[in-house]
Amino acid sequence: MTRTQAEGIVLRNYGGFYYVQNGESGIHECRLRGKIRDRVLTGDRVRVTLLEAGKGVVEEILPRRSELRRPPVANVDMVLIVMSFDKPTPDLALLDRLLVLADYQEITPCIVLNKSDIAPTTRAECIMDYYPRVGYRLVNTSAKKREGIEELARVLTGRVAVLAGPSGAGKSSLLNALLPDLSLATREVSRKIGRGRHTTRHVELFYLDSGGWIADTPGFSILDLPPMKRQELARHFIEFEEPARWCRFNDCLHDQERECGVKEAVDRGEIATFRYHHYLSFLVEVKENERCYN
């Protein structure tokens, strides 16, 4: 029997087996070596012993760079925040919440504005106008007409990414557009476990031909802010950083304080009023949470 040592990435855990991708196309159905005590997550890099006929044994989990809770995926370094031109009209507060969360977790966000084949609502236009200007990455797509999909694939190259955003924005459609002719490797796994189905426990990473991995998630519209100190919140609004240098007080919360650089930037129209209002409402929440966490 031939046995080879290799490294791979866990695409999915299902029915007691771990599907480990090794190289471009090979997927191995692996069991765990008994001595492994930690929970193996989708996205984990692992050392495996490859056996014949696509079987293998996971010997060791390699060090994790990060661990996302929802969905439970290890080593995620990008989140695609999907909103749409319309249907549903974008929820800017949810977008800002997701941007704070991504930054807090040190995951690079990319805003994806999907359904570019239909007319944008005012809020969608507002996203296109404002967020790239202050430094967030944005890609317009139509999963339906397959527009912007190549650009999206380029953004994802070499990344482990998750799709996030409200129900109906087109996350699953984008995943399908990114995987037009499922690579052999993906097809193998998907046949066994059913593509498109997801529960929080069985999250699957799909490998893109352009290099990179992506996981779908069910939509949501409510999201708690992570625990943090009130002074930390403004750091997660990237365009507040420069004007905050001009605040008179070092610990300025950009709320009631005098001589606040952030409020002056709002007055000059450099920071959008809606962003500032979201900041203030998040600040109330963070203060309330501070009491619970301390």
Ligand X SMILES: Nc1nc2c(ncn2[C@@H]2O[C@H](COP(=O)(O)OP(=O)(O)OP(=O)(O)O)[C@@H](O)[C@H]2O)c(=O)[nH]1
Q: Which long-range contacts (CB under 8 A, 24 or more apart) does 265-271 make?
A: 265/239, 265/240, 270/239, 270/243, 271/134, 271/239, 271/240, 271/243
Complex with Mg ion: residue 221 or 231, whichever CB lies closer: 221
For residues 204 and 42, give the distance between their C-alpha atoms in angstroms, rounded to a whole number: 7
- Is 247 a binder of Zn ion (CB under 5 A)? yes
State residue 68 phi and psi, 5-degree precision: -85, 140
- Is 115 a binder of ligand X (CB under 6 A)? yes
Complex with Zn ion: residue 79 or 260, whichever CB lies closer: 260
Query: What does each C-alpha distance from 106 to 66, 99, 160, 219, 285 come to in angstroms?
Result: 9, 10, 13, 21, 21
For residues 33 and 250, give the distance between their C-alpha atoms in angstroms, rounded to a whole number: 53
Distance in Å, CB of 259 to Zn ion, minimum: 8
The one of Zn ion, Mg ion, ligand X, none whose footprint includes residue 107, by CB under 5 to 8 A per kind, is none
Per-residue mark of binding to Mg ion, 151-180 (x: CB under 5 A): --------------------xx--------
Q: Which of 22, 114, 186, 190 binds ligand X (CB under 6 A)?
A: 114
- Is 142 a binder of ligand X (CB under 6 A)? yes
Residue 234 DSSP symbol: G
Q: Which of 23, 54, 132, 168 binds ligand X (CB under 6 A)?
A: 168
* Those residues with Cβ within 8 angstroms of residue 234's Cβ, 6 or more apart along the chain or in another chain: 240, 244, 253, 254, 262, 279
Burial class (CB in 10 A: 0-12, 13-18, 19+), 1: exposed
- Is 262 a binder of Zn ion (CB under 5 A)? yes
Q: Which stretch binds Zn ion (CB under 5 A): 84-92, 95-103, 254-262, 276-284?
A: 254-262
Site for Mg ion in 15-74 (CB under 5 A): none
Complex with ligand X: residue 167 or 200, whichever CB lies closer: 167
- Is 218 a binder of ligand X (CB under 6 A)? yes
Residue 106 DSSP symbol: T
The one of Mg ion, Zn ion, ligand X, none whose footprint includes residue 262, by CB under 5 to 8 A per kind, is Zn ion
- Is 143 a binder of ligand X (CB under 6 A)? yes
Q: Which stretch binds ligand X (CB under 6 A): 15-23, 41-49, 168-176, 278-286?
A: 168-176
What is the β-pairing status of strands 78-84 and 160-164? parallel
Cα-based torsion angle of the residue sequence 193, 199, 202, 206 in order, rounded to the nearest 10 degrees: 70
Residues near ligand X, by CB under 6 A: 114-115, 117-118, 142-144, 167-173, 218-219
Residues near Mg ion, by CB under 5 A: 171-172
